Structure formats: structure tokens, C-alpha cells
Structure 1
Amino acid sequence: MGFRALADPTRRSILQLLAKNDMTIGEVADNFQMTRAAVKKHLTVLNEGNLISVRVDGRSRLNTLNADGLKQVFDWFGYFDAFWDSRLDTLKSAIEKDVQ
């Protein structure tokens, strides 16, 4: 899963950009005050985390959001969301029982 990739706010911002359009490294870099090399490192981490894919289009390499990779992360968080909902419902019931 791409948790390491999601830990960095810059990478999360890059994912938001790629959700709108496929972009080259240069196009992504234009949105940040960092070098293209630094952006490439972020894109590499996102690619390794299966959150983006890279495809060749002529002489360009386009970075594309990988919805399947994000679904894995979403599903994992969904499990814990349900876990906490259950725990909070139990706590609420216990509190309401004590109040009555």
C-alpha cells in the first residue's frame, strides 16, 4: 500500500493535481517551488506505492493517478472507520445507560 507515499503533504498535493489531469514531471514541478529532480523523487515514491502510474506518450512520460492503488488505501481506512464507529456506538450506549 502507499502509506509511505501518503505521509508527505507534497505527495498528497501531487495526487490532487493528477486527479485532475495526467501530467509530465515538468508540469507537476510548475506547481511547486522545488527542482524537477525533487519532484521526480516524489513521483518515484508515489509510483512505488502504486498510487500513480507512468506511461510513455511520444517523448513525454505522463504521470497518471492510479485509482486502484487509492482504493486499497481507502478500503484499509474503511475497516478502521467501521471499527471506530462500532466502538463509539458502544461508548454512546454505555453513557446513555448511565445517564438514565
Structure 2
Amino acid sequence: MVDHISPTHRLDTVFHALSDATRRAMLQRLGREDQSVTALAEPFSISLAAASKHIKVLEGAGLIRREVRGRTHLCRIEAGPMREAMEWLNHYGRFWDARLDDLERALAEDETEKQEPTDDHS
């Protein structure tokens, strides 16, 4: 199957999926080991139906895969889509690092100017 989803839409779905604390916690659990839907729902005060909705959002973003084994739905993390999100975030991390470096240089120059003796012969 060919993926015809635009990179912008794909990034939007990843950030949407990661915007919810329950889904982030589910991903953390799946980062340790594959789990059934029932096991993923267990630590939260939510119904199995609500857990399933969260899982569908994660699946829609491509962050997890679900495999059906009989009556058990086993979920596995698929961290690949997070790479694009990390690249987007890293771009802005580099932006802010550069801005903070500029600020640090400006403050150091200002401090140097304050410490230089003035040539006042009045």
C-alpha cells in the first residue's frame, strides 16, 4: 500500500496523538514491551472502549501496530513516525540554541564594555 498522506498531515497526526497524556503513557509502556489492549487499559481509570479509542488514534498516527491473535489484540510500538516529529523539534532546538548563543555573546560584550576604562580627561 502506497502512503499518500502529506508530510504535514502525518506530522499533525503524530503531534495530535502525542498531545494526550494517556496516549503518551501507553507509548511508554509499549516501549518496554508489547501489550494487549486490556493490559494497556489496566493502569488507567478508563473503560476498555475508551482505551481502544486512544489506541486507534495512536494507530492512525502510525505510532503503534495492532496484531490480532485469536481474541487478543497485541499492540507494538512503531517509533518511526516520531523521527519526523523529532526532526521538526530539533530544527527549533537549533534555532533557540543559536538565539541563546547570540544573547550570551551580546551580554558578554556588554559586560566587557562596562569593564573597559573610560578615557575621561575633563
The residue aligned with 2:102 is 90
The residue aligned with 1:7 is 19
1:40 to 34, 49, 52: 52
Q: Which amino acid aligns with 2:100?
A: L
Q: Matched residues in 2 for 1:18 and 1:33: separation?
A: 18
Tell me the CA shift for residue 58 of structure 1: 4.0
Check the 8 A contact 1:25/1:63 in 2, yes or no.
yes
Q: Matched residues in 2 for 1:59 and 1:10: separation?
A: 24
- In structure 2, the residue corresponding to 1:33 is in which secondary structure? coil
Which 4+ residue blocks in structure 1 deviate beyond 3 angstroms? none
- In structure 2, the residue corresponding to 1:39 is in which secondary structure? helix
RMSD of aligned residue pairs (Cα, Å) = 1.2
1:60 to 72, 75, 78: 72
Asked which structure has the greater RCO (Cα within 8 Å, sep 6+), the reply is 1
Structure 1 gaps of 5+ residues are: none
Tell me the CA shift for residue 57 of structure 1: 3.2
Give the stretch that moved more between structures: 80-89 or 55-64.
55-64
**Alignment partner of 1:24 is 2:41:** no
- In structure 1, the residue corresponding to 2:74 is in which secondary structure? strand
Rg comparison, structure with higher value? 2
Q: Matched residues in 2 for 1:58 and 1:78: separation?
A: 41
Check the 8 A contact 1:52/1:69 in 2, yes or no.
no
